[in-house]
Chains A and B, each alone.
Chain A
Amino acid sequence: MHLAYPAVLSALLFCTGLYGVLARRNAILVLMSVELMLNAVNLNLVAFDVWLSKAAEETLHSGQALTLFTITIAAAEIGIGLAIVLAVHRNRGTADIDKLRDTAEGHESDGPDRDASTAAQAEKAEATA
């Protein structure tokens, strides 16, 4: 099989993943898109490893070995990512990335955080008074 086929496929997969990361609103879909990008990379690794070993320049198959690492790490990553999404969903009732803007400039957070921060401010004012 010519190298071009897996390369083009992996490029397409990567671009799909990239689009998903940049454009999807649901956090779970964003995570899935990240998986797509990772797998595009895995595909690339395997394809090039085969191509290079055919030319007998590489006999250790380090590309395929590295793919195993990537899969492992991707599994861990998706586990943590889903846990975070779950926690956010429990906390906010939504997993919509557009609504998670707590780090925006001039953002006033709502929810239980605000009470805590105002309480802290009141405490500080008392201390200075």
Chain B
Amino acid sequence: MTTTTLAVLVPLLPFLGAAAGLLLGRTAPGFVRPLAVLPALASLVLAAVVAARQGGDQAINAATELTPTGSVPIELALHIDGFAALVAVLVGVVATCVQIYSTGYLREDPRYPSYAALVSLFTSAMLLVVYSGDLMVLLVGWEIMGICSYFLVGHYWETPEARAASIKAFLVTKLGDVPFLIGLFALATDAGSFRITKVLGTVASGGLDHPTLIALLLLAGVAGKSAQFPLHTWLPDAMAGPTPVSALIHAATMVAAGVYFIARLLPVFEASQAAMIVLAVMAAVTMIGSGLAALAQDDIKRVLAYSTIGQLGYMTGALAVADRGAAVFHLLSHGAFKALLFLAAGVIIHAAGTNSLAAMSRMTHLRDRVPDAFWTMTVALLALAAIPPFSGFFSKESVLGAAEHAATGHAERVPGTSGWVVLVAGLLTALLTAAYAMRLWLLAFHGRGAEAPDHGRQPLTMTVVLWVLAAPSLAVGALAYRVLPDWFDGRDLAPTLTTSVLGTGVALVGGIVTYAAWRHTTAAAARVPLGAVAAHPEGDAAQVEAEAIASHAPVYGGVAYAPDPADPGRLLLGPLHRHAAVGFHLDAVYRVLFVRPVQAGASLVRFLDREVVDTYVGGAGALPRWLGLAVRRAQTGNVQTYVSALLAGTVVLAVAAVLVATGA
């Protein structure tokens, strides 16, 4: 088979799997698990073959016109360069791991068939986005991912948090998608085509008339999808979905789609200096804000969600200094270790029976209950904190190196300001990242107090994939920075001495300071009993998680917050903790700016409908009703009265006829 055929099969197989899963889910439950896992596995193999054949050489382009539109044609096009080939492999790996993990995690879930089919559909859409060479086809995948995310976040729809989170995720991302669509139209109008190759050709020849407008419109969609400030607020709430979904969609793939999109169209953004500076500032605010917020979260998954936002900030930061190699390198390594972190967190939540770090910090021997999760999570947290020699170190250093390169004025077409902004924010975030990674590790695995509840052995499907995902975080980084430049633009991704020393230094400082704070506060933990644990020794992990999510707000007073004086984050953040726990009140700001006006508008419309429009309608009905009342009086029931009226009418008509006939 040609590489093109293989590449077409890569997104097609999970799509067929999803269709078959939705159709057969009820009638043939035995096929559901194979139908979920095998297409993902097959497309992973095919994606690997495509990547091997592509090999970082000339991009593979293939196109067939979908339909003549009269103006700008829409084509089914493939555009596979080194970025696309490798990102597709990442998506395949994570999707396969998540599907295998889900068979254990949602073992007894009655809605597993539709869940698995939606995950397959999502995988297919993401692969479509990755391979597509046409912006309209890319948009189709982009929106399918959005709707899959909506359904999967709301998987535990019995809990009000999940319902609210799914609607919020959908609305906020759509808020970005509308400008995104307009931006795509503007771009296609300027370039005369939706094909990425032609768009890039137009940009290279300077044919783009409104680069800043287009770049900013596209940026809105990217900010929504990739959870960048100010449209990031949906991502922490999306953690109300099942953990494997968080791992696949809200950590490793969908949120990376925005970054990947900019990486594909980087020259469009480079054409506008203003857009690059906006991108840099957005990345910087996202990174620092999310780092602070992550330090104050109580829900283990929300910590990871804010961490995801921060790491995506690194990627957009790399793009802001026009180094897409570094951005996609970080995307790849982050995708692997963040999926691992989430899947391990799922195991921990199952074992501990709670998602609250405050409750976990009051349990001993949680570590021994889930040794696989402990070791792999340690590896992933080290990668997250960018400690050498784990993969996160190399990818993060490549980002910081690119920022330093731009800051010192060595990069063309990139303003030095963006370089400095990204560099400073990146170093600060490295400190915060190490701090919250350390806090998570200490609170989850070094608790003191009662014995952790026994939820039995974790299913093999859930622990094996952890080790599969741990392998890239452990070993690949050092190899990757030597090999990847051949696949990407050829820019050097090797860590430079200055940024390595600085980055690792601040990360160590962050870790040590947190450890010291934890030693200081841990004595208080014993004094303040806290926490609630869902105990279902027989139940599967999904049931435990759903109950943990549902009970968090009633027990601790908020989805993100716990009144725990023994939290080292509270000591480190000081008065900032209260604000950081609620994401710096951004939700409240949105409530004032958008939700309240919309609700006020809705009540105005309701008033107009009830009081104004209905008055006219009621009035229109009242007049005939009064006339009818008058006419009804005539109905006496006496036949002779009727006949008299008939006679009178006949006489009148006869007289009229006679008068007309005689011409009077």
Q: Is the CB of A105 within 8 A of B633?
A: yes
B640 close to A101 (CB less than 8 A)? no
Q: With A18-B647, A22-B644 given, is the CB distance from A97 to B637 under 8 Å?
A: no
A105: contacting residue among B635, B639, B643, B644, CB under 8 A: B635
Asked if B636 and A21 sit within 8 Å, CB to CB, the answer is: no
Q: Would you call B640 and A104 a contact (CB within 8 A)?
A: no
CB contacts (< 8 Å) of B635 on chain A: these are 103-105
B71 within 8 A of A: no
For the complex, give the distance between the alpha carbons of A23 and B644 in Å. 10
Q: Is B457 an interface residue (CB 8 A)?
A: no
| Nearest CB in chain A to that of B639: its residue | A97
B640 and A97 within 8 A (CB): yes
B638/A98 in contact, CB under 8 A? yes
Residue of B nearest to A24 (CB): B640
Asked if residues B632 and A105 are in contact (CB atoms below 8 Å), the reply is yes
Residues of A within 8 A of B (CB): 18, 21-23, 30, 97-98, 100-105, 107
Complex interface bits, B621-653 against A, C-beta within 8 A gives 1, otherwise 0: 000000000001101111110011001000000
Docked-complex contact A101 and B638, CB < 8 angstroms: yes
The count of residues in chain B whose C-beta lies closer than 8 Å to any C-beta of chain A is: 11
Chain B, residue nearest A102 (CB): B637
Pairs A–B under 8 Å by Cβ, sample size 20: A18-B647, A21-B640, A21-B643, A22-B640, A22-B643, A22-B644, A97-B640, A100-B637, A100-B639, A101-B636, A101-B637, A103-B635, A103-B637, A104-B636, A104-B637, A105-B632, A105-B633, A105-B635, A105-B636, A107-B637
By a beta-carbon cutoff of 8 Å, the part of chain B in contact with chain A is 632-633, 635-640, 643-644, 647
Interface centre among A30, A97, A103 (most CB of B within 10 A): A103
Contacts of A23 in B (CB 8 A): 640
Q: Which residue of chain B has its CB nearest to the CB of A104?
A: B637
Contacts of A97 in B (CB 8 A): 638-640
Contacts across chains A and B counted by CB atoms under 8 Å: 31
Give the top 4 A-B pairs by smallest Cβ distance, nearest first: A104-B637, A101-B637, A105-B635, A105-B632
Q: Within the complex, what minimum Cβ distance (angstroms) separates A100 from chain B? A: 7
CB distance from A60 to the nearest CB of B (A): 27
Closest beta carbon of chain A to B627's beta carbon, Å: 14
The chain B residue with its CB closest to the CB of A98 is B638
Residues of B within 8 A of A107 (CB): 637
Tell which of B633, B636, B647 touches A22, judged by Cβ atoms closer than 8 Å: B647
For residue A104, which residues in chain B have a CB less than 8 angstroms away from its CB? 635-638
Rounded to whole Å, the gap between the CB of A15 and the closest CB of chain B is 11
| Cα-based distance from A105 to B637 in the complex (angstroms) | 7
**What A residues does B632 contact at CB under 8 A?**
105
Collect the chain B residues with CB atoms within 8 Å of residue A102's CB: 637
| Measured CA separation A102–B639 after assembly (Å) | 10
What residues of chain A lie closer than 8 Å to B647, measured between beta carbons?
18, 22
A111 CA to B636 CA in the complex, in Å?
A: 19
B570 to chain A, nearest CB (A): 60
CA distance A35 to B637 in the complex (A): 23
Smallest distance from the beta carbon of B628 to chain A beta carbons, Å?
10
16 extra A-B contacts, CB within 8 A, seeds A101-B638, A105-B633: A18-B647, A22-B640, A22-B643, A30-B640, A97-B638, A97-B639, A97-B640, A98-B638, A100-B639, A101-B636, A103-B635, A103-B637, A104-B635, A104-B636, A105-B632, A105-B635
